[in-house]
Amino acid sequence: MRWGLHIAAAFALGAGLIVWAGCTHPAPTIAFLTDFGESDFYVGAVKGVTRSIAPHVTIDDLAHQLEPYDVRAAAWNLYLAAQDYPSGTVFLAVVDPGVGTERRPIALRTDDGRLFVGPDNGLFSFVARHLGPVEVRHITNRDLFRPGTISHSFHGRDIFGPTAAHLAAGTTFEAVGPLIEDYVLLPVRLARSDGDEVRGEVISADRYGNLHTNIPGEMLLALGVKRGGLLHVTVGEVTQRARLVNTYGDVAEGEPLVLIASTDHLEIAVNMGDAKALFQIGPGAPVIISPQERRATP
């Protein structure tokens, strides 16, 4: 009988389930995002501390090759990924150019029960704005930290990873520390229609050089633009003509284009090329898009 219980537990673990006292629950998940890269020990060290505290936890790697120090792009990527995770997921996000300074470690909880742990540097700006309402706490409970000396330069291992692990293991959100309301939100040009054009900004540039904006695709469609329509696209100080298309291959190689990406926001790209290099600009740059002509795709 005892062997039968062990076998059943093994099958449950393999299926992503945990069995406690005869009850079956989904295994806790930590979704992990950093700019650490994968050529050093940093990601592995954080995972090691996390598993030491919560060995049953599932760790999903969201991204580790983000542009170093680019908090805005990381915040956008975190928000986009978080939308598809269920309530109860703990998001461990560490893009922290101010590590060891006066910036605070914080934890955030959305109204539907998703949890976020990381630095108070604007990394949770889009989560707070779009997945709210939120509750935010200053992480001060040292019982949740890695035992021993806390490094000034590796809070991912010593503070954020352990705190995320404790939350995934069942520690109450209230236990991490006091409530705060003055957490950092990045300044963002809100997307808007302005006459016969839409305005917003570049939020991130991916590894292909595609520029992701905060302009919802439906905002451009509301101007009457059809697929195949020619657009006037200004990013920063550079202006190009591009077509609104369904996908990259709808234009010739090397031609600029605009599409409604899988995020439902406008993306500016170059087929088999680099829009970031073409416009000579990156995240935070203002974007203005207006229709030059309106015609349906043949």
Query: Around 292, how many Cα atoms within 13 Å sit in the side-chain half-sphere?
Result: 14
Decide if 240 contacts 254 (C-beta within 8 A): no
Q: What angle do CA 7, 53, 157 make, to 5 degrees?
A: 135
- Predicted model pTM: 0.83
What is the model's pLDDT at position 176?
98
Which tokens hold the place of 134? 């939120």
How many degrees, rounded to 5, is the angle at CA 61 between CA 115 and CA 180? Answer: 25
User: At 173, is the pLDDT very low, low, confident or very high (cuts 50, 70, 90)?
Assistant: very high
Q: Where are the domains of the chain?
A: 2-176, 192-291
Place of tokens 């000396």: 149
Give alpha helix (H) positions in the chain: 2-14, 42-53, 71-82, 125-130, 155, 161-168, 217-221, 275-279
Mean pLDDT of the chain: 89
- DSSP secondary-structure letter at 154? -
192-291 CATH: 2.40.30.90
One of 3.40.50.12160, 3.50.50.60, 3.40.50.10790, 3.40.50.2300 is the CATH number of 2-176, namely 3.40.50.10790
Q: Flag whether pLDDT at 3 surpasses 50.
A: no
Cα 82 to chain centroid, rounded: 7
- What pLDDT, on the 0 to 100 scale, is given for residue 99? 95
Residues 11-70 pLDDT 10s? 444 444 444 333 445 678 999 999 999 999 999 999 999 999 999 999 999 999 999 999
**Between residues 14 and 166, the one the model is more confident about:** 166
The answer, yes or no, to whether residue 148 has pLDDT greater than 70, is yes
Percentage of residues in the chain having pLDDT higher than 90: 81
